[in-house]
C-alpha cells in the first residue's frame, strides 16, 4: 500500500489513493448490462406493483403478513412509488444536462408540501393500478394515505405557495430545483387544552420519511464566526480576502422528488440538514466529560432542528440568522458546483441559472454569491474565484430575483451589525461595499437628498446599526415582484417608493399568486373534479380527466351552465358531499356534531391581528346573543300557555319557520409562540364555542369549531366544504392570500375586504359573486390618522358594545384574560380597525344569510367562482415568472 501511495505522489497527483484501494468519487467504466437496466422503466401493472410492495415488506422491513401493520404497507407503497419517480427523475436530469437548459433555483425557508402519496400517484397516473394492488393485498389507498404525516416544512401561505410553485414548475416541464431546510421538527404541533393553545414538538420524522433520498456525497462546509484577513494579489493588485477560523458545519442534501402532471418530467426539492464537522471529541470522552464530547455535534445540528426558532432571545436571533445563512450558502455552493462540473464560465452563469428569493429570508444569497465569486469556496469542486467586484456584482444582479410577500415590518428583516460582525465578518465587509457603491449612485441621481440616502441605505443608523435585508435584496436583484396587484402598488407607492423612483418602472413588477388545481380540486374534491370533467365533455371541450387541471382555461366554459337548473342542483350536491366529509372530520377531531345543512363559514389561516379573527368571533357573539334573546323571549311568551320545555321547543320551531339560517363557524390556525394577543384570540374563540355548542336554545342555529394543528391535510377537507370563506384582513395588509383562491376554486363564496388577491378574484368572477365590505386601503389610512392624533370621534356600534359587554361580564369566562382585547377596541386605539368595519361586516353577513336561502341563486354564484378561477392557477403565475427568468420548457418524451 505504501508503494502505491509513493507512486501516486511521484506522478504529481494531488491526493494519494485512499487506503484499501477505494477511489472516492470516480465511476467505473460503463457496463452494457448496467446501462440497460438503468434505462429500463419499472412496470406499472397491478401484479408488478404488488410484488414490489411485498418484496419491500419481506426484505427491507423483515416482516411477514402476520406482523406487518398498516404503516409498514404505507412505507412499502411509498418506496415503490418513489422508485418509479426516480426512474423518471434520472431521465429528466439527463435531458436537462444534454440540452444545457437554464434552471431556476427556488430558494425558500418554507415548503408546506402536504402528504405526498396521493399527489405522487395522481401526477404519475398510477392511482388506479396502486389502488387495485392494495385492494388485492386487503388494504385500501385511503387507509394507507392516512398513515402519512404532513412534511412539517412550513407555517402558512408562504410555504404552501412554494409547494404549489414547484408543482407547477414540474408540470410545465421547466428545469427547476427547490432549495430549503430539512427541519427535524416543524414550527410546533398545536393542541388545545382548556381552550388555550399549547405547543408541542412537531416530530414529523419520528417514523422516518420514505420519500426522501439521502445524498451524503453532496455535503458542503458552512463557516461561522472566525476572522478575515487580506493581502494584495501581486498580479492584479487587487486585495485577496481570507475568511478563516471559527466553526464549520456541514450541510448534507436530502432530495424529495416532485413529479409533474401530464408530463414525464420529475424535478426535485433539495433540503439541507446540518451535521457537525466533528461528530465526537474523543479526548473529552476519554476524560469522562461526555457532555463536552458531543456538545459540538448538538450545537451544529441545532441549526436545522426547528422551523423558525423563537427570536425573542439573543440566542434565538443568532440561531435564526445561522439558519438563513446555512441555507443559502449550501444552496449556492450546490448551484456553483453543478455549474463548474459542466464547464460553465462565470460570465455565463446568468445564462444557465436564475435564483429566486422567496421572501426576504434568503437575502443573504446576495453577499454570499459575491463572496463565492470573489474569494472562492472552501472545496475544490467549486473553482470560481478571483472575479473583479464590478463583474461579480453584475453576475449576481442578473441571476437573482426577489419576491416580497408582505408589508409587515417584522418580516422585512433587519439584523444588528454587531451580530454580522461576530458571526459573518466577511459578509459584513461585502454588504458595506455594496452599500457604499450603491449610495454613490443614489447621490449622483439625487444630489444633496440626504433623507433619501438615509432611507435607501442598506444600513439603518440609530442607537444600534442594523442591516436592512429587504433593501439588500432589492439592490442585489434583477427584478423585485409583488404577489397581487394591490400589494405591488403599495410597494411602488410607499414601502419601496424610493427604489421605484431610483430604478424606474421596470424594476418592481407584479405576479399575482396562484394555487395548483391538481391538489386543490382534483385531489381534494373528487366530486367537483368529476362534475367539471363531465360537464366540460358535454360542452364540447376535448381533454381527458387528467388534462383539464393542466388546461384550466377550459373552466371558463362552465359559465354556460349558469341557466341550467339541473347543473346547478348537481353542483349543490357536490358541495353537500364535501360538507358531509368535513362534518365527519369535525366530529372525529373536535367531537362536535354539525349538520351539512348548516351554512359552513370558515376562516383558516395564521392567527394574526391583521387577519382579524377577532372581527369574526365578535360577529359570532352578536349572532349568539341575538338568537338567545329571541328564544328566551319567545319561550317566556309560550310558557304562559304550556310547560317550559314545550315552550322552548315552540320558540325554536318559530325561529326555524322564520328561515333563520343555521351556521357553523370554523376557525383554524396557529399563533406564533411569542404572540400573546393572537393566543388570547384563540382562547376567546374556544371559550365562545364551549358555551354556544352546549346551549340548547342556540345549538340548532349556531356551532363554533376550532380545528387544532391546521395543516395541508385538514385544509384539503375544509376548503371543499366551505360555503363561505372569510378573507377579512385590514385593507392594505394582506399581500395576496391563497386561501381565497382555494375557496373560490371549490365554489366557496368570499366574504372579503378589498385586500390582497381578493380584489382580483372579484374582477374575474364578478363583484356580485363576492361579498365585499369594509374600508378601503385609503380609508384605513385616514382612520388610523384619527387613532394616532386622538381626534377620532367614531362611536362604537351598539351591537359591538353588547359583544364587548358580554366578554367583560365573564359570560365566556376569563374576563381578565380577555380585557386587553376589549380595552383596545373601547379605547379607540384599534390599529386593525375592527370597530370601524364592524357594522359593515354584520350587514354583509345578513346578505349572506338572505342569499343562502335561495339555493339556486347561491349555486349560480358558486358556479361563477369555479368557472372563473382559472386565472388563479399557479401554472399561470409560473408562466409569468418563467418569462422573467428566460426559462423555456424541456419536456421528456412520454
Burial of 581 (0-12, 13-18, 19+ CB in 10 A): middle
Residues 6+ apart with CB under 8 A from 639: 647
Cell of 642: 304550556
Q: ∠879-884-888 over CA atoms, to 5°?
A: 55
* Span 765-770, average pLDDT: 96
Q: Write the pLDDT tens digit of every residue in 83-105.
A: 999 999 999 999 999 999 999 99
- Please report the pLDDT score of residue 658 as a whole number: 86
The model's confidence at residue 408, banded by pLDDT at 50, 70 and 90, is confident
CA 857, 862, 863, 864 torsion: positive or negative? positive
Strand, coil or helix: 48: helix
To the nearest 10°, report the CA torsion of 428, 434, 436, 441: -160
- Please report the pLDDT score of residue 23 as a whole number: 40
The model's confidence at residue 638, banded by pLDDT at 50, 70 and 90, is confident
The model's confidence at residue 10, banded by pLDDT at 50, 70 and 90, is very low
- Please report the pLDDT score of residue 8 as a whole number: 36
- Please report the pLDDT score of residue 829 as a whole number: 85
User: Strand 400-403 to strand 414-416: parallel, antiparallel, or no bridges (unpaired)?
Assistant: unpaired
869 with 744: CB under 8 angstroms? yes
Q: In whole angstroms, what is the distance from residue 309 CA to residue 316 CA?
A: 6
- Please report the pLDDT score of residue 312 as a whole number: 75
Strand, coil or helix: 646: helix
C-alpha 219 chain-centroid distance = 26
The model's confidence at residue 284, banded by pLDDT at 50, 70 and 90, is low
- Please report the pLDDT score of residue 62 as a whole number: 87
- Please report the pLDDT score of residue 282 as a whole number: 56
Q: In whole angstroms, what is the distance from residue 229 CA to residue 749 CA?
A: 61
pLDDT over threshold 90, residue 235: no
* Span 861-881, average pLDDT: 97
Q: In whole angstroms, what is the distance from residue 733 CA to residue 731 CA?
A: 6
Lowest mean pLDDT among 178-182, 458-462, 653-657, 883-887: 653-657
307 with 155: CB under 8 angstroms? yes
Q: In whole angstroms, what is the distance from residue 573 CA to residue 349 CA?
A: 54
Q: If you average pLDDT over every residue of the chain, what do you get?
A: 91
399 with 349: CB under 8 angstroms? yes
* Span 435-447, average pLDDT: 97
Local structure of residue 747 (DSSP, 8 states): T
Burial of 39 (0-12, 13-18, 19+ CB in 10 A): exposed
Q: In whole angstroms, what is the distance from residue 631 CA to residue 637 CA?
A: 10
Q: Write the pLDDT tens digit of every residue in 482-527.
A: 999 999 999 999 999 999 999 998 899 999 999 999 999 999 999 9
Q: Any idea which residues carry the catalytic annotation?
A: 405, 605-606, 611, 738, 742
Q: Write the pLDDT tens digit of every residue in 576-606.
A: 999 999 999 999 999 999 999 999 999 999 9
Q: In whole angstroms, what is the distance from residue 530 CA to residue 659 CA?
A: 32
The model's confidence at residue 39, banded by pLDDT at 50, 70 and 90, is low
* Kind plus residue range of the DSSP H or E element containing 355: strand 353-358
The model's confidence at residue 19, banded by pLDDT at 50, 70 and 90, is very low
C-alpha 294 chain-centroid distance = 34
400, β-bridge pairs: 355
116 with 148: CB under 8 angstroms? yes
pLDDT over threshold 90, residue 13: no
pLDDT over threshold 70, residue 300: yes
- Please report the pLDDT score of residue 786 as a whole number: 79
pLDDT over threshold 70, residue 311: yes
- Please report the pLDDT score of residue 560 as a whole number: 97
Residues of the chain with CATH 3.40.50.2000: 100-115+150-512, 581-872
The model's confidence at residue 292, banded by pLDDT at 50, 70 and 90, is low
CATH 3.40.50.2000, domain 100-115+150-512, yes or no: yes
268 with 255: CB under 8 angstroms? yes
Residue in 144, 38, 158 with CA at minimum distance from that of residue 110: 158
pLDDT over threshold 80, residue 41: no
Architecture of domain 581-872 in CATH? 3-Layer(aba) Sandwich (3.40)
- Please report the pLDDT score of residue 16 as a whole number: 36
C-alpha distances in Å from residue 225, one per residue of 19, 221, 248, 322: 34, 13, 9, 10
- Please report the pLDDT score of residue 80 as a whole number: 95
- Please report the pLDDT score of residue 151 as a whole number: 92
pLDDT over threshold 90, residue 278: no
Cell of 251: 450541510
Lowest mean pLDDT among 168-172, 297-301, 569-573, 706-710: 297-301
Q: Write the pLDDT tens digit of every residue in 698-708.
A: 999 999 999 99
C-alpha 73 chain-centroid distance = 29
Q: In whole angstroms, what is the distance from residue 704 CA to residue 685 CA?
A: 8
Q: Write the pLDDT tens digit of every residue in 327-380.
A: 999 999 999 999 999 999 999 999 999 999 999 999 999 999 999 999 999 888
Residue in 89, 124, 105, 98 with CA at minimum distance from that of residue 267: 89
- Please report the pLDDT score of residue 628 as a whole number: 94
With b meaning 16 or more CB within 10 Å and e meaning fewer, what string describes 794-809?
Answer: eebbebbebbbebbbe
To the nearest 10°, report the CA torsion of 274, 276, 279, 280: -130
pLDDT over threshold 60, residue 22: no
DSSP state letters, 561-576:
GTT-HHHHHHHHHHHH
213, β-bridge pairs: 255
719 with 741: CB under 8 angstroms? no
Percent of the chain with pLDDT over 70: 93
pTM of the model: 0.93
* Span 311-316, average pLDDT: 83
- Please report the pLDDT score of residue 68 as a whole number: 86
pLDDT over threshold 70, residue 30: no
Lowest mean pLDDT among 33-47, 94-108, 470-484, 613-627: 33-47
Amino acid at each position: 500500500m505504501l508503494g502505491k501511495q509513493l507512486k501516486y505522489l511521484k506522478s504529481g497527483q494531488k491526493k494519494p489513493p485512499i487506503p484499501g484501494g477505494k477511489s472516492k468519487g470516480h465511476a467505473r467504466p460503463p457496463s452494457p448490462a448496467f446501462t440497460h437496466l438503468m434505462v429500463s422503466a419499472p412496470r406499472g401493472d397491478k401484479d408488478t406493483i404488488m410484488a414490489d410492495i411485498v418484496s419491500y415488506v419481506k426484505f427491507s422491513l423483515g416482516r411477514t403478513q402476520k406482523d406487518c401493520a398498516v404503516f409498514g404497507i404505507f412505507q412499502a407503497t411509498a418506496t415503490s412509488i418513489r422508485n418509479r419517480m426516480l426512474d423518471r427523475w434520472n431521465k429528466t436530469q439527463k435531458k436537462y444536462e444534454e440540452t444545457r437548459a437554464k434552471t431556476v433555483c427556488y430558494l425558500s425557508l418554507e415548503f408546506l408540501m402536504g402528504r405526498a402519496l396521493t399527489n405522487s400517484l395522481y401526477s404519475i397516473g398510477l392511482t388506479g393500478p396502486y389502488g387495485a394492488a392494495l385492494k388485492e393485498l386487503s388494504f385500501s389507498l385511503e387507509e394507507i394515505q392516512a398513515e402519512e404525516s404532513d412534511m412539517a416544512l412550513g407555517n402558512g401561505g408562504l410555504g404552501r405557495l412554494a409547494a404549489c410553485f414547484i408543482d407547477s414548475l414540474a408540470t410545465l416541464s421547466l428545469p427547476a430545483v427547490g432549495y430549503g431546510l430539512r427541519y427535524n421538527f416543524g414550527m410546533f404541533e398545536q393542541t388545545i387544552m382548556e381552550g388555550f393553545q399549547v405547543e408541542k414538538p412537531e416530530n414529523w420524522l419520528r417514523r422516518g420519511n420514505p420519500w426522501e433520498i439521502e445524498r451524503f456525497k453532496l455535503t458542503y462546509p458552512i463557516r461561522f464566526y472566525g476572522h478575515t484577513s487580506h493581502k494584495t494579489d501581486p498580479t492584479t493588485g487587487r486585495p485577496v480576502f481570507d475568511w478563516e477560523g471559527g466553526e464549520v458545519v456541514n450541510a448534507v442534501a436530502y432530495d424529495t422528488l416532485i413529479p409533474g402532471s401530464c408530463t414525464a418530467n420529475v424535478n426535485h426539492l433539495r433540503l439541507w440538514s446540518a451535521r457537525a464537522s466533528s461528530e465526537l471529541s474523543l479526548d473529552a470522552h476519554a476524560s469522562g466529560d461526555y457532555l463536552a464530547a458531543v456538545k459540538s455535534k448538538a450545537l451544529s445540528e441545532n441549526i436545522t432542528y426547528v422551523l423558525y426558532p423563537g427570536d425573542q432571545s439573543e440566542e434565538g436571533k443568532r440561531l435564526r440568522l445561522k439558519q438563513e445563512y446555512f441555507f443559502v450558502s449550501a444552496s449556492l455552493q450546490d448551484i456553483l458546483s453543478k455549474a463548474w462540473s459542466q464547464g460553465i464560465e462565470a460570465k455565463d452563469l446568468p445564462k444557465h441559472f436564475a435564483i429566486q428569493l422567496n421572501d426576504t429570508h434568503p437575502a443573504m444569497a446576495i453577499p454570499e454569491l459575491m463572496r463565492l465569486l470573489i474569494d472562492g469556496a472552501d472545496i475544490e469542486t467549486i473553482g470560481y474565484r478571483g472575479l473583479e467586484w464590478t463583474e461579480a456584482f453584475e453576475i449576481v444582479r442578473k441571476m437573482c430575483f426577489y419576491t416580497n410577500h408582505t408589508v409587515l415590518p417584522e418580516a422585512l428583516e433587519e439584523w444588528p451589525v454587531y451580530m454580522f460582525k461576530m458571526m459573518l465578518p466577511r459578509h459584513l465587509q461585502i454588504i458595506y461595499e455594496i452599500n457604499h457603491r450603491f449610495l454613490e449612485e443614489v447621490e449622483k441621481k439625487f444630489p444633496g437628498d440626504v433623507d433619501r440616502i438615509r432611507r435607501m441605505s442598506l444600513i439603518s443608523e440609530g442607537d444600534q446599526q442594523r442591516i436592512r435585508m429587504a433593501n439588500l435584496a432589492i439592490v442585489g436583484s434583477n427584478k423585485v415582484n409583488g404577489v397581487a396587484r394591490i400589494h405591488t402598488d403599495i410597494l411602488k407607492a410607499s414601502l419601496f417608493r424610493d427604489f421605484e423612483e431610483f430604478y424606474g418602472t421596470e424594476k418592481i413588477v407584479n405576479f399575482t399568486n396562484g394555487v395548483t388545481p391538481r391538489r386543490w380540486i382534483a385531489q381534494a374534491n373528487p366530486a367537483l373534479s368529476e362534475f367539471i370533467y363531465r360537464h366540460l365533455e358535454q360542452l364540447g371541450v376535448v381533454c381527458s380527466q387528467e388534462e383539464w387541471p393542466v388546461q384550466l382555461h377550459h373552466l371558463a366554459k362552465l359559465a354556460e351552465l349558469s341557466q341550467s337548473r339541473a347543473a346547478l342542483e348537481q353542483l349543490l350536491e357536490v358541495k353537500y358531499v364535501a360538507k358531509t366529509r368535513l362534518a365527519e372530520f369535525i366530529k372525529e377531531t373536535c367531537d362536535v356534531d354539525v349538520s351539512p345543512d348548516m351554512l359552513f363559514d370558515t376562516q383558516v389561516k395564521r392567527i394574526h391581528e391583521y387577519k382579524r379573527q377577532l372581527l369574526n368571533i365578535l360577529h359570532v357573539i352578536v349572532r349568539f346573543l341575538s338568537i338567545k334573546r329571541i328564544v328566551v323571549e319567545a319561550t317566556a311568551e309560550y310558557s304562559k300557555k304550556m310547560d317550559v320545555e314545550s315552550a322552548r321547543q315552540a320558540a325554536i320551531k318559530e325561529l326555524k319557520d322564520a328561515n333563520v339560517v343555521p351556521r357553523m363557524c370554523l376557525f383554524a390556525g396557529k399563533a406564533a409562540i411569542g404572540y400573546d394577543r393572537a393566543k388570547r384570540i384563540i382562547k376567546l374563540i374556544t371559550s365562545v364555542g364551549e358555551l354556544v355548542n352546549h346551549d340548547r336554545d342556540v345549538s340548532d342555529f349556531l356551532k363554533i369549531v376550532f380545528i387544532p394543528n391546521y395543516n395541508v391535510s385538514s385544509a384539503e377537507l375544509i376548503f371543499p366544504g366551505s360555503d363561505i370563506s372569510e378573507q377579512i384582513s385590514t385593507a392594505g395588509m394582506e399581500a395576496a392570500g391563497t386561501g381565497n383562491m382555494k375557496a373560490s376554486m371549490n365554489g366557496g363564496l368570499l366574504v372579503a375586504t378589498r385586500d390582497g388577491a381578493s380584489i382580483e378574484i372579484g374582477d374575474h368572477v364578478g363583484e356580485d359573486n363576492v361579498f365585499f365590505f369594509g374600508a378601503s386601503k385609503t380609508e384605513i389610512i385616514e382612520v388610523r390618522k384619527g387613532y394616532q392624533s386622538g381626534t377620532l370621534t367614531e362611536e362604537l356600534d351598539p351591537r359591538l358594545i353588547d359583544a364587548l359587554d358580554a366578554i367583560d361580564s365573564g359570560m365566556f369566562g376569563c374576563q381578565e384574560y380577555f380585557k386587553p382585547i376589549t380595552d383596545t377596541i373601547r379605547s379607540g386605539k384599534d390599529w386593525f380597525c375592527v370597530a370601524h368595519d364592524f357594522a359593515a361586516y354584520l350587514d354583509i353577513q345578513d346578505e349572506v344569510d338572505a342569499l343562502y336561502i335561495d339555493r339556486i341563486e347561491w349555486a349560480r354564484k358558486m358556479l361563477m367562482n369555479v368557472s372563473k378561477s382559472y386565472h388563479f392557477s399557479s401554472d399561470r403565475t409560473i408562466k409569468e415568472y418563467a418569462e422573467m427568468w428566460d426559462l423555456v420548457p424541456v419536456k421528456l418524451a412520454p
